[in-house]
């Protein structure tokens, strides 16, 4: 029989086998829970009187079962401390189930996120307290699939002044980051047919996987030093596409900015074909050597789904993003969101609202921009011996903005396989350009360095490991 003890200080599910006798059944159930790890070492067990009451056993039966397990070494009992689970030698414990293997990385320069240690904890807590003290009565109920009106209103003002986005609160849908935003848009596009989406090549491989998972056919759109080749959209192979996804302000992973003429061509394509532009503005807040590039959405709001998140400004774990949706796709996107998870959690939305409306979010971004610019400059100092002069072996791309830099190798003799081997020798993790192409082949080689990733104290050691890696690669040529 299955029993619980809900009123004894701990909750634990036990399977008591009535055919083996009451005491033996309890002993076996406790042994199984300890061996399997469901009862961890030093967990405190209920008092014999409480457990007996909960399980419908006599107190003497429970005391006898405890005594037997104490004698076997499964439990310990101390005066005044009650009965607890003993620490068993390893050979007495069942082997744990294998979990995911995590990389043991000493120096992390992979792209993808901000310095997690720089999260504005004090400002976030202050904003959360203000939000909690003025919560509306409906906060703990199911909400509008689009998200809290407070956040959508705050985003309308913020995106307008900082990114040139033309938005209305009714047309914003709050999402759980960019991946859900892309999934919702793909689902909305495929409401009546299989959608075909052109995606940058090279680009984010996981985003391609998300779109495919939600039913899209993916067509690679080449990228060069001027960004996505939107001049190709009139070619026959692109005549059937429904949408184009672009990282126009700072292409991932090359760092190129979409050339103004190509922006015009992209908008012209959308207007003439009734197509959708999915604008992934993943790090538009971070500009160092040039003026910010405004969003394409501001020039064609009826044809652009503008997507932004706090993943690069605050942290991806918050799972907060947004779509500024063109009117024709609003209802399909809302319906897709309703069926995906009903709505994004509300407390985080209201906390972010407080950050934005008090301008604490702006202050954090400005501080982050200064910190990441300094880190970028240190990275450039590290790369300079190999990127300048007659003996240069690499070129640097995308340094004017963002949180990463693409380093391309000038020598065809140097392969990514060699690079991976050498970086592993120095416990250094980086991104690889080869992983970002749509199909395997003879593509340019390179590494993508995320200078925002390490904590502040670990950044100098990461750069030192990178220096050792580049020296070793230079000798490999």
Q: How many percent of the chain have pLDDT more than 90?
A: 69
pLDDT of residue 412: 63
The domains of the chain, with CATH numbers, are 2-92 (1.10.10.10), 119-363 (3.40.640.10), 366-476 (3.90.1150.10)
pLDDT of residue 5: 40
Q: Determine the angle formed by the axes of helices 346-357 and 121-133, rounding to 10 degrees.
A: 110
pTM of the model: 0.83
Confidence tier at 101 by pLDDT (50, 70, 90):
very low
For the chain, the C-alpha Rg in angstroms (whole number) is: 28
Residue with tokens 């750069």: 463
- How confident is the model over 98-123, as a mean pLDDT? 81
pLDDT tens per residue, range 402-444: 999 999 987 666 778 888 999 999 999 999 999 999 998 888 8
Q: Decide if pLDDT at 97 tops 50.
A: no
> Do β-strands 107-108 and 304-309 pair in parallel, antiparallel, or remain unpaired?
unpaired
**Residue 15 belongs to what H/E stretch?**
strand 14-15
pLDDT tens per residue, range 54-96: 888 899 999 999 998 988 889 998 877 789 999 876 544 444 4
Residue with tokens 């995320």: 450
Cα separation, 384 vs 119, whole angstroms:
30
pLDDT of residue 18: 67
pLDDT tens per residue, range 292-302: 789 999 999 99
Residue with tokens 């310095």: 115
pLDDT of residue 9: 54
Which has the higher per-residue pLDDT, 225 or 134? 225
- How confident is the model over 32-50, as a mean pLDDT? 87
**Residue 49 belongs to what H/E stretch?**
helix 48-55
Q: Decide if pLDDT at 8 tops 50.
A: no
pLDDT tens per residue, range 122-164: 999 999 999 999 888 888 899 999 999 999 999 999 999 999 9
The pair of structure tokens assigned to 143 is: 């909400």
pLDDT tens per residue, range 322-373: 999 999 999 999 999 999 999 999 999 999 999 999 999 999 999 999 999 9
Cα separation, 401 vs 422, whole angstroms:
28
Mean pLDDT of the residues in the chain: 90
The pair of structure tokens assigned to 254 is: 């090359």
pLDDT of residue 94: 47
- How confident is the model over 262-285, as a mean pLDDT? 96
Contact 181, 157 (CB under 8 A): no
pLDDT of residue 211: 98
Neighbours of 89 (CB within 10 A): 8
Contact 283, 310 (CB under 8 A): no
pLDDT of residue 10: 59
Which has the higher per-residue pLDDT, 221 or 100? 221
Q: What is the DSSP string of 164-225?
A: -----GGGEEEESHHHHHHHHHHHHHTSSS--EEEEEES--HHHHHHHHHTT-EEEEEEEET
Q: Decide if pLDDT at 7 tops 50.
A: no
**Residue 64 belongs to what H/E stretch?**
helix 59-72
């Amino acid at each position: 029989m299955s029993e619980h003890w809900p009123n004894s200080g701990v909750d634990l599910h036990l399977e008591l086998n009535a055919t083996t006798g009451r005491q033996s059944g309890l002993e076996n159930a406790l042994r199984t829970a300890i061996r399997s790890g469901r009862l961890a070492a030093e967990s405190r067990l209920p008092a014999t009187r409480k457990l007996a009451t909960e399980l419908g056993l006599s107190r003497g039966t429970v005391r006898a079962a405890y005594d037997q397990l104490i004698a076997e070494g499964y439990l310990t009992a101390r005066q005044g401390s009650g009965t607890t689970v003993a620490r068993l030698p390893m050979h007495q414990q069942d082997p744990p189930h294998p979990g995911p293997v995590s990389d043991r990385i000493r120096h992390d320069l992979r792209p993808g996120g901000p310095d997690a240690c720089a999260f504005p904890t004090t400002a976030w807590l202050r904003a959360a307290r203000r939000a909690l003290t003025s919560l509306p009565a409906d906060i703990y109920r199911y909400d509008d699939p689009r998200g809290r009106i407070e956040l959508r209103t705050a985003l309308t003002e913020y995106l307008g002044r900082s990114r040139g986005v033309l938005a209305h609160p009714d047309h914003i849908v709050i999402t759980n980051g960019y991946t859900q935003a892309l999934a919702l848009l793909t689902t909305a596009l495929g409401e009546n047919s299989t959608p075909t989406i052109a995606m940058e090549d090279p680009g984010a491989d996981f985003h391609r996987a998300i779109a495919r998972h939600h039913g899209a056919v993916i067509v690679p759109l080449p990228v060069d030093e001027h960004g996505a080749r939107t001049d190709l959209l009139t070619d026959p192979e692109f005549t059937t596409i429904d949408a184009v996804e672009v990282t126009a302000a700072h292409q991932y992973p090359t760092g190129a900015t979409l050339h103004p003429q190509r922006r015009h061509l992209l908008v012209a394509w959308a207007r003439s074909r009734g197509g959708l532009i999915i604008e992934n503005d993943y790090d538009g807040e971070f500009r160092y050597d040039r003026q910010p590039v405004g969003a394409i959405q501001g020039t064609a709001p009826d044809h652009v789904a503008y997507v932004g998140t706090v993943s690069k400004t605050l942290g991806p774990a918050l799972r907060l993003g947004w779509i500024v949706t063109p009117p024709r796709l609003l209802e399909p996107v809302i319906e897709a969101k309703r069926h995906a998870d009903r709505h994004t959690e509300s407390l985080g939305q209201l906390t972010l609202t407080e950050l934005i409306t008090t301008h604490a979010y702006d202050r954090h971004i400005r501080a982050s921009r200064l910190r990441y610019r300094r880190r970028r400059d240190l990275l450039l100092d590290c790369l300079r011996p190999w990127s300048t002069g007659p003996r240069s072996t690499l070129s640097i791309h995308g340094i004017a903005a963002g949180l990463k830099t693409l380093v391309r190798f000038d020598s065809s003799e140097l392969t990514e396989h060699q690079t991976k081997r050498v970086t592993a020798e120095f416990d250094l993790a980086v991104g690889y350009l080869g992983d970002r192409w749509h199909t395997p082949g003879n593509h340019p080689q390179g590494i993508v360095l995320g200078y925002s990733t390490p904590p502040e104290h670990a950044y100098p050691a990461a750069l030192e490991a990178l220096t050792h890696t580049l020296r070793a690669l230079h000798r490999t040529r």
